[in-house]
């Protein structure tokens, strides 16, 4: 069955306090060299074989139920056609 991944991230103009917390914690743990951290959602969808357009279905689902268009942007990737 097709698998489609949807990654949902805050738009770049919107602060990501959670990502910033990880960014700031890293040097205190001995990790140097990470310039930026942003945290979002990763959603994995398994689509039925009889769906003609798995990518289009995933995009429609992302639009309606996974992402908040005011503050978030998403990318859709078919990983297993």
16 interacts with a copy of itself by CB under 8 A: yes
50 interacts with a copy of itself by CB under 8 A: yes
51 interacts with a copy of itself by CB under 8 A: yes
Number of amino acids touching a copy of itself (CB under 8 A): 52
Burial of 26 (0-12, 13-18, 19+ CB in 10 A): middle
- Between CA 60 and CA 80 the distance in angstroms is 19
Q: Cβ contacts of residue 49 below 8 Å, gap of 6+? A: 1, 2
79 interacts with a copy of itself by CB under 8 A: no
Write out the residues near a copy of itself by the rule CB under 8 A: 1, 5, 7-10, 14-29, 31, 33-48, 50-51, 57, 60-61, 64-71
């Amino acid at each position: 069955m097709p698998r489609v991944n949807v990654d949902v991230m805050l738009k770049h103009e919107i602060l990501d306090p959670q990502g910033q917390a990880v960014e700031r914690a890293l040097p205190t743990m001995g990790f140097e060299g990470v310039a930026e951290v942003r945290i979002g959602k990763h959603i994995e969808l398994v689509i039925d074989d009889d769906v003609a357009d798995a990518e289009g279905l995933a995009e429609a689902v992302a639009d309606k139920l996974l992402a908040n268009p005011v503050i978030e942007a998403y990318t859709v990737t078919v990983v297993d056609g």
